[in-house]
Chain A
Amino acid sequence: MNAPAVVFYIGPFGITSVVVTTWGIMLVLGVSCWLVTRNLSLLKPGRLQTMLEGLVAAMEASIEAVLPGQAKQLLPFIATLWIYIVIANLTGLIPQLHSPTGHLSVTTGLAVLVFLSVHWFGIRSYGIRQYCKHYLSPTPLLLPFHLISEVTRTIALAVRLFGNIMSLELVALLVLLVAGLLVPVPLLMLHIVEALVQAYIFGMLALIYVAGALQSKQSKGNDL
C-alpha cells in the first residue's frame, strides 16, 4: 500500500489524506451527536434516541461485564475506540476514500494510546509505586518478560488492525481488477463484518489490557 498523499502543509508538517479523513470522521461524528443529543426526551424517546441509548448502554454493559464498577471511568476511551475504528474501517467502502486504519501510522497511534491508557488508569487507581510493583510480581526476575509483553502486545495491536484492514482493501482491489464490477460485492459485505469484528477486537483487547492492569493490582492488594 502506498504512503498517504499529503494534501497540504502546515508549516513544515504535511497533512496527509488520512488525517483529513480522520477530521472528516470527527466532524461527522461530532455534528451528528450534537444534533441527536440536543433534544433528548426523558419520557417519550424517539426511535433514533432509543437506538443511541441502546448502543451506549450495550457498550457500558460490555465494559461493566469485564470491569465491574469501572464502566463510567473507561466508557469514553473504550467506546470511542469502538466507534472510531468502526467508522474508520467502513470509510474504505466509500469511493475515493481509504480507511485510516489501513495505515500503520494511525493504528500505531491508537495502539500507543492504549498502551499509555493502561498505565494511566493503573497509576490513577493505585498510585505509581503500587502500580509499578506489579511488574516485579510474582518475582523481580519476570520484569523483562513483563516489559517485553507490554511492547509486543502494543505492536501486535497496531499491526493486527493495520494488516487486516490493509489486506482487506488490497484483496478487494485485486478482485475488482481481476473479476469485474459485481464480483467484489460479497467481499464488500465481508468488509463490513471484518470492520465490525476488528473494531470489537481492538476495543476489547484494550479493555482487557486495562482490566489486567487494574485487576492484577487489585488481586495483589487482596493477597496482601
Chain B
Amino acid sequence: MDFDWTTFVLEIINFLILVWILKRFLYQPVLGIITRRRAGIEKTLADAKRIETEASELKRKNERYLAEWEAEKEVAQAKLSAELATLRENKLVELEAHLNEEAARRRVLDERNRKDFERLCEEKGIAQGVTFTSKLLTRLASKELEQQLFSVLIEDLQNIREQDRHAVIEAAAEPELYVKVQSAFVLENEQQEVLSRLLNEITDRTLPIEFLVHSELISGLQIDIGPWILHANLRDELKVFSGVLRHAK
C-alpha cells in the first residue's frame, strides 16, 4: 500500500486528458450522429404527421365533395324524374290524340269502305237488274215491238228540236258521209223509205243511207249520222236506264 504522489498527480492529469480525448473523439461524434439521426427521424415523423394531416384533410374534403355530389345527384335525379314524368304525360296526351285521330280516320275509312261496298252492291244489283231486264226484254222482243219503237223514232224525228236539227245538219255536212241505220230486225222497204225521206227532210239533202241488222240492239233502231247518233232501241235504253240509276244514287 505504498502511495506515490507523482503517480497520484499524473493519474489525475491523465484522467482529465482522457476525459478530453474521449469527449473530443468519442462522445461528441457519436452523440452528434445520434442527435442528427434523431432529428432526421423526428423530421420524418413530422413529415409523416403532416402528410397524415394533409391526407385527413383531403379525405375530409373528398367526403364533403362526395356528399355534395350525392346531394346534387339526388336533385338532378328528382329533376330528371319530374321531366320524364312531364314528358311521359305529354307523350301520353300525344298518343291519345294520335289514337283518336287514327280512330276517326279509321271510322272515315270504314264509312268509305261501307259506302263503296253499298255502291258495289247497288251496282251489282243494277247490273243484275239490267241483265234480268235485258233477258226479259230479249224474250219479249218482236217485230211488233220494233214497229212501235220505229213509230216512236219517227215521231221523235218529226218533233226534233231546232237545236238538235242543226246538230244533225252539221253532222251530215261532212263530205263523203253516209248514214248507217241499224235495226234488230230487218226493216221493210216502206219503213226504209219513210225513214230516208224524213232524214232527207231534216238535213235538207239526200243522204246515202245503209240499213244493217244488228241483233244486239234487242229491239229498235240506231241511226249514226257521223258523230251524231240517235238511239231508239232497247239495248241503249237499258244502258241509259242503268246509267240513270247509277247517277241517281
Give the interface of A toward B (CB within 8 A).
1-4, 13-16, 18-19, 22-23, 25-26, 29-30, 33-34, 37, 40-42, 45, 49, 52-53, 56-57, 60, 72, 75-77, 79-80, 83-84, 100, 103-106, 108-110, 112-113
Given A42-B40, A57-B34, the answer on whether A19 and B14 have CB atoms closer than 8 Å is yes
CB contacts under 8 Å to A, within B1-28, are: 1-12, 14-19, 21-23, 25-27
Given A3-B4, A19-B7, the answer on whether A42 and B15 have CB atoms closer than 8 Å is no
B11 and A37 form a contact (CB under 8 A): no
Instruction: Count residues of chain B with CB under 8 A from any CB of chain A.
Output: 32
B34 and A53 form a contact (CB under 8 A): yes
CA gap between A64 and B244 in the complex, in Å? 139
CA gap between A34 and B30 in the complex, in Å? 11
Return chain A residues, CB-CB under 8 Å to B30: 37, 40, 52-53, 56
Question: Which residue of A25, A40, A57, A109 has the most chain B CB atoms within 10 A of its CB atom?
Answer: A109
Given A4-B4, A105-B3, the answer on whether A26 and B29 have CB atoms closer than 8 Å is no
B23 and A76 form a contact (CB under 8 A): yes
- Please encode chain B, from 89 to 131, with 1 for each CB lying within 8 Å of some chain A CB and 0 for all others: 0000000000000000000000000000000000000000000
A84 and B3 form a contact (CB under 8 A): no
Given A3-B2, A37-B26, A113-B15, the answer on whether A29 and B7 have CB atoms closer than 8 Å is no
Given A22-B14, A80-B15, the answer on whether A56 and B7 have CB atoms closer than 8 Å is no
CA gap between A29 and B17 in the complex, in Å? 12
Return chain A residues, CB-CB under 8 Å to B6: 13-16, 19
CA gap between A14 and B9 in the complex, in Å? 12
B27 and A56 form a contact (CB under 8 A): yes
A109 and B27 form a contact (CB under 8 A): no
B40 and A37 form a contact (CB under 8 A): no
CB distance from A140 to the nearest CB of B (A): 32
Give the interface of B toward A (CB within 8 A).
1-12, 14-19, 21-23, 25-27, 29-31, 33-34, 36-37, 40
Residue pairs across A and B with CB atoms within 8 Å: the count is 119
A109 and B9 form a contact (CB under 8 A): yes
Q: Could you write out 12 A-B pairs with CB less than 8 Å apart?
A: A18-B4, A18-B7, A26-B21, A30-B22, A40-B33, A42-B40, A52-B30, A56-B30, A80-B15, A80-B18, A83-B22, A112-B12
Return chain B residues, CB-CB under 8 Å to A30: 18, 21-22, 25
B3 and A104 form a contact (CB under 8 A): yes
CA gap between A134 and B142 in the complex, in Å? 178
CB distance from A222 to the nearest CB of B (A): 30
Given A40-B33, A56-B30, the answer on whether A110 and B11 have CB atoms closer than 8 Å is yes
